Amino acid sequence: MNKHPKNMSAVSQITEDIIIKSEENEEREEQDTSLILDNQYIFIQLPSGNIKVVKLQKDTNVSLGKFGTFHSNGIIGRPFGHSYEIYDNYQVKVIKNVAFYEVDETDANNKEILDDPSKQKLSYQEIEKLKKQGLEGQDIIKKMVEGHSAFDQKTEYSKAKYIKRKEAKFSRVFTPINPTLYSVWEYFFSKNPGKIRDMRIDTLSQILSLANVRAYTKMLVVDDTQGLVITGVMERLGGYGIVLGIHDGENHNYDIVRYMNFSKKIHDSLLTLSWQQVFKEEIQAPFNYQDESTLSEKDLKYYLRRKVNYERIRDTREILWRGEFDGLIVASQYQPESILETLMPYVSGSRPIIIYHINKEVLINACVYMKISKKFLNPQITESWLRQYQVLPGRIHPSMSTSGGGGYLLHATHIVINESLPTPIPSYMKQKDTLEELNKSDFCNNNSIDETVKIESLDQNVTSENHLVNSEELQEAENKRIKLE
């Protein structure tokens, strides 16, 4: 059995490979994100407005439910941004974007419009027959418009709404969307916001901005949002830097990361550890190194997998314990105070601390903890507000349905205190101590007694003067009375 060499050179080499790896030494070129490529995730916007996630594979069919099925080779290699329509034999073709049009001014109104199905000449059976004949969705909608007896009486806005409803039902047009941080967030937020802890995109952007995430930085992240925060940090690093994620259990649940189609260079910047592996008291079991030449092919594959996992955990723990991280981001279900006590020793001084939570009360306790501690500067709790607008010709107004809140952020600056230096005393504290000493001195007490005596004598003098003035006035008044008599 070979002994494992424990030296810091291996750890340093891994850190150097992750941070200083240049673009010239990259083994494979960066993928062109503007093109739809094989073996990658894409988002498909359906005519109904819903989003479907698909992993494209060559020579396969992609089903869109009631909207039809198309062959994947029809869109692979084409750029994002186009809309496609499905026609015979699972084929697709690019269609003209009809979303932009001029609204004509008319005198029509909806006063005489009633909800009467009899005004549609085409029956349900006739429409189904047209669909079976392979007629395109736009042609079916055109026939329905021609068969509507009251269509001309509608306003231009009502006509657009009518056509939009029919397109959502009969159109076979879909639009591939490039996975970006915004599109991935939009998909998860509309589908199940609880998975990402109800985090809005404006809140996420503030987290990345306040944390000062940029290339060649080391970020420490506690992420319970399915990897949404981790994904945002990885995208900003671009493969130049380290993001260390702390998670529950043996394996992380950063599901959102895989939808971004990151290159190997960006994936290598992500390191993970479980909470159990963070503590130094938890000793890692030693690995049994063996001679690889004596192992069978099956045993060798299993052995190499365990070896890589062991060395990954060992080196990642060393990177964490060496500290010097450039920031801490927390979006967790646990109490922030316990997380701060555990991870703050690994964060450098003058670095940002960002904590997200959907409830303000949780952050209030953490804010009080920060203000009592000497390790945090200027802790603040902020709340963001976002309102979406519908922007259409003549119909610009706020969205009728929106989220009530985007959560709260607690941000502060970490301070490293040098215990060997004397703690400076603020000037106002010095003045306070001086006044207290003067109040306690005999000189101050004697002066206060003298001042009291002076004040009492002054009061007596004022009283006597008032008495004299009053006596003279009385005598003068008495003399005037005598003269009048």
| pLDDT tens-digit readout, 129-142 | 776 666 666 677 77
309, 27 contact by CB (below 8 A): no
**Sign of the Cα pseudo-torsion (439, 444, 448, 449, in order):** positive
Out of 297-306, 449-458, 470-479, which region has the weakest mean confidence (pLDDT)? 449-458
Q: If you search the block for the tokens 């290339």, which residue do you land on?
A: 215
Q: If you search the block for the tokens 């979303």, which residue do you land on?
A: 99
When pLDDT is averaged across residues 276-303 and rounded to a whole number, the result is 80
Domain boundaries, the chain: 8-21+180-414, 34-177, 427-485
pLDDT single digits (tens) 188-206: 999 999 999 999 999 999 9
Q: Cα(159)–Cα(154) distance, rounded to whole angstroms?
A: 6
For residue 232, give both structure tokens: 């945002």
321, 280 contact by CB (below 8 A): yes
pLDDT at 346: 97
> For residues 464-485, b (16+ Cβ closer than 10 Å) or e, as one string?
eeeeeeeeeeeeeeeeeeeeee
When pLDDT is averaged across residues 255-268 and rounded to a whole number, the result is 94
- CATH class assigned to 8-21+180-414: alpha beta
**pLDDT band per the 50, 70, 90 thresholds, residue 443:** very low
> For residues 62-81, b (16+ Cβ closer than 10 Å) or e, as one string?
bebeebbebbbbbbbeeebe
Q: Cα(203)–Cα(407) distance, rounded to whole angstroms?
A: 7
Provide φ and ψ at 137, rounded to 5°. Answer: -60, -40
304, 333 contact by CB (below 8 A): no
Q: Cα(170)–Cα(147) distance, rounded to whole angstroms?
A: 16
- pTM value is 0.73
Q: Cα(117)–Cα(159) distance, rounded to whole angstroms?
A: 16
Q: If you search the block for the tokens 């106002």, which residue do you land on?
A: 428
- CATH class assigned to 34-177: alpha beta
